């Protein structure tokens, strides 16, 4: 009776793993039966119900480890062309982290609801942007349209000091350089207190 020892709830099982024989438990959700043997359909937790004599497998909730359509993510601008910026997606809202680095593409038409002529008028290499994912495959199409989306952190292109938000522009507190970006309302450093 080797199987007897396995008759408890909560064990993680894998697809195709034998759970029991039909005489012991009837196949429930997340299981299938072949020739009197009951197997798991999913990676999940197995539950043996001794009252109904039924075995079920509850799929493990997938960790949000790849960007998904509609998700708000954080990305750093890695390269820019006139009409497109390439980004590295490194995380998402609510502390979600990804299992790898994914490429996000921000087309000039998706930066702002206002007309942007060239990408570098609105984002520059090294900027951190908050963006929404438009597609469910890699490379992920992004948009920064909307007040909460856009650049949340940027460095002065002359001296490398973090820029501070002043009204609709970003200003360098060190050299006074003023730069334009598609700024998020969540930009991390704002004027007033710091200057």
Using CB under 5 A, list all residues that contact Zn ion: 156, 158-159, 161, 172, 174-175, 177
We find the least distance from the C-beta atom of residue 175 to Zn ion, in angstroms, to be 3
28: Cβ contacts below 8 Å, ≥ 6 apart: 49, 52, 54, 55, 56
Beta-ladder partners of 12:
45
Give how far Cα 97 sits from Cα of 73, 89, 100, 141, 187, Å.
Answer: 9, 10, 9, 18, 20
User: Shortest Cβ distance from residue 178 to Zn ion (Å)?
Assistant: 10
Cross-strand bridge partners of residue 106? 85, 142
DSSP E strand boundaries for 72-163: 72-80, 84-92, 102-107, 128-133, 140-143, 150-153
Query: CB-wise, 116 or 163, nearer to Zn ion?
Result: 163
Taking the complex as a whole, how short is the minimal distance between the CB of residue 102 and Zn ion, in angstroms? 31
Neighbours of 84 (CB within 10 A): 15
Nearer to Zn ion, 28 or 191 (CB): 191
Cβ 193 to Zn ion shortest distance, Å = 19
Which C-beta is closer to Zn ion: that of 19 or that of 164?
A: 164
Q: Which is closer to Zn ion, CB of 132 or CB of 181?
A: 181
Nearer to Zn ion, 106 or 170 (CB): 170
């Amino acid at each position: 009776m080797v199987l007897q020892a396995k008759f408890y709830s909560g064990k993680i099982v894998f697809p195709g793993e034998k759970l029991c024989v039909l005489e012991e438990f009837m196949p429930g959700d997340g299981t299938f039966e072949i020739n009197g043997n009951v197997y798991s359909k999913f990676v999940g937790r197995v539950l043996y119900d001794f009252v109904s004599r039924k075995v079920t497998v509850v799929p493990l909730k997938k960790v949000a480890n790849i960007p998904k359509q509609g998700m708000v993510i954080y990305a750093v601008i890695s390269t820019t062309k006139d009409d497109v910026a390439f980004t590295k997606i490194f995380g998402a809202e609510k502390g979600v982290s990804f299992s790898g680095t994914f490429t996000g593409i921000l087309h000039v038409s998706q930066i702002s609801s206002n007309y942007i002529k060239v990408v570098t008028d609105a984002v520059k290499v090294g900027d951190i942007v908050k963006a929404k994912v438009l597609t469910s495959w890699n490379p992920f199409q992004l948009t920064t349209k909307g007040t909460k989306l856009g650049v949340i952190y940027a460095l002065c292109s002359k001296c490398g000091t973090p820029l501070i938000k002043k009204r609709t522009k970003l200003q360098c507190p060190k050299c006074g350089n003023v730069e334009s970006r598609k700024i998020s309302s969540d930009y991390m450093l704002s004027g007033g207190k710091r200057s």
